Amino acid sequence: MARINYIDLPAKHEPLRERLLQVFDRVLAHGQFVLGPEVRELEVRLAKYLGARDVVTCGSGTDALVLALRLRGIGPGDEVITTAHSFIATGNAILLAGATPVFVDIDSDTMVLDAALVPAAITERTRAIMPVHLNGFPMDMGPLSAICDDTGIALIEDCAQAFGSRRDGRGVGTHDIGCFSFHPLKIFSACGDGGCLTVSSEEDAETLRRLRNHGLIDRDHSDIAGVNSRLDSMQAGFLSVKLDVLDDYIAARQANADRYHAELAGLVTLPPKGIDLRCNHSAFVIRHQEREQLRSSLAASGVDSKVHYPLAIHQQPAFAVFAQRSLPVTERVIGEILSLPVSAELSAEEQERVIEAVACSLGKGAESKGP
Ligand SMILES: Cc1ncc(COP(=O)(O)O)c(C=O)c1O
């Protein structure tokens, strides 16, 4: 029986092939390969889609986080409160800015930063809070937003996995600064690396445009030490094509997620859902105490699954020095999580096989059901 892949990038791109090749031809013809016309066109479209005042593209999601920290003047001696249950880039960005990450535990149900624990982690050195909308789950920004409004601490949302996710109709990343990744494995992805920031003021957008391009005001003059983190015109053109079909992708993932919810209820712990939530289901993460056994059993049935992520950031060697507090919920949860295939390309038959494989592994499959 054919293996069920967690993700199939060639299959995802095949229907778009002709349109992507047209972009390639167009950019080859005009020759403005970096920050060409496609880039600004994309930024305008993204701002509208995300509900942000403006969008500034850059070289990657990691760069977006570092640029956001630089924009707020955060560096050595400053502390940034974040979660250790994320891709390592969240922590790396804080280190790259020269600041100190302060990891706060997660909420057990949603698996995102527990806002109730944040006030106790604030010190006179805290300069930013960096929540992560992990797995595309749009976390409730109300409590963190209130803390930041009261204290003047910057709010930098890591939306790398949550493009298109909304809560109560409001897009992620629209509270102050949002940072997105266009890595090929993301739902809204380039055919290479890329990223963007959402901002709520013209001034921030202007400064970021300089920071991402050597601090240049014009061709020859620079007033701040910027970096090279510009988006290629080719990638911007590809992203524009993909933006046209994004809502269909998300709808297909949501339908797959709904089916898992209906079929796996009572067997495993399922991710949270709610009518006010539009989750892009960047990953569909189930939880079970016998995760390793379940994973091996799925693999034996030809079903690919992933663990996002087997180590929390504070458990990585580069962060050992920052492991200031214990994170019991994070440490428990990472032993239980398993991401099931949920992509738009997954066929109904394939999903049925995944569901059956999970049920069989837990002794609840068709074979074990009595007459
Ligand atoms: C939560 C999170 N933050 C940041 C990043 C970094 O994005 P990029 O890979 O585009 O640098 C990623 C991407 O993998 C991510 O998942």
Return the residue whose CA atom lies nearest to atom 10 of ligand 1.
61
| Ligand 1 neighbourhood includes 90 CB (under 6 angstroms) | yes
Residues 6 or more apart in contact with residue 189 via CB below 8 angstroms:
182, 183, 239, 242
| Ligand 1 neighbourhood includes 82 CB (under 6 angstroms) | no
pLDDT at 323: 60
Ligand 1, atom nearest to 195 Cα: 10
State in Å: Cα 193 to ligand 1 middle: 10
Tens digit of pLDDT per residue, the chain (371 long)? 799 999 999 999 999 999 999 999 999 999 999 999 999 999 999 999 999 999 999 999 999 999 999 999 999 999 999 999 999 999 999 999 999 999 999 999 999 999 999 999 999 999 999 999 999 999 999 999 999 999 999 999 999 999 999 999 999 999 999 999 999 999 999 999 999 999 999 999 999 999 999 999 999 999 999 999 999 999 999 999 999 999 999 999 999 999 999 999 999 999 999 889 999 999 999 999 999 999 999 999 999 999 999 999 999 999 988 766 789 999 999 999 999 999 999 999 999 999 999 999 998 765 443 33
State in Å: Cα 161 to ligand 1 middle: 7
Ligand 1, atom nearest to 132 Cα: 1
CATH C-level class of 9-105+113-240: alpha beta
| Ligand 1 neighbourhood includes 198 CB (under 6 angstroms) | no
pLDDT at 366: 53
| Ligand 1 neighbourhood includes 89 CB (under 6 angstroms) | yes
| Ligand 1 neighbourhood includes 229 CB (under 6 angstroms) | no
State in Å: Cα 153 to ligand 1 middle: 23
CATH H-level, domain 246-365: superfamily: Aspartate Aminotransferase, domain 1 (3.90.1150.10)
Query: Same fold for the domain at 9-105+113-240 and the one at 246-365?
Result: no
| Ligand 1 neighbourhood includes 85 CB (under 6 angstroms) | no
pLDDT at 324: 66
CA dist 162 and 323 (Å) reads 27
| Ligand 1 neighbourhood includes 171 CB (under 6 angstroms) | no
Own/partner contacts of 203-209, CB < 8 Å, gap of 24 or more, are 204/54, 204/71, 204/177, 205/53, 205/54, 205/56, 207/71, 208/56, 208/58, 208/67, 208/71, 209/56
State in Å: Cα 93 to ligand 1 middle: 10
Token code pair at residue 8 = 């199939």
CB of 229 closer than 8 Å to CB of 67: yes
Question: Which letter, b or e, does each residue of 280-301 get, where b requires 16 or more Cβ atoms within 10 Å of its Cβ?
Answer: bbbbbbbbbeebeebbebbeeb
Domain ranges of the chain: 9-105+113-240, 246-365
| Ligand 1 neighbourhood includes 177 CB (under 6 angstroms) | no
State in Å: Cα 179 to ligand 1 middle: 9
Ligand 1, atom nearest to 181 Cα: 10
pLDDT at 271: 97
CA dist 102 and 90 (Å) reads 12
Mutate to test the pocket of ligand 1, among 62, 92, 106 (most ligand atoms within 8 A of CB): 62
CA dist 199 and 75 (Å) reads 20
pLDDT at 368: 43
State in Å: Cα 88 to ligand 1 middle: 8
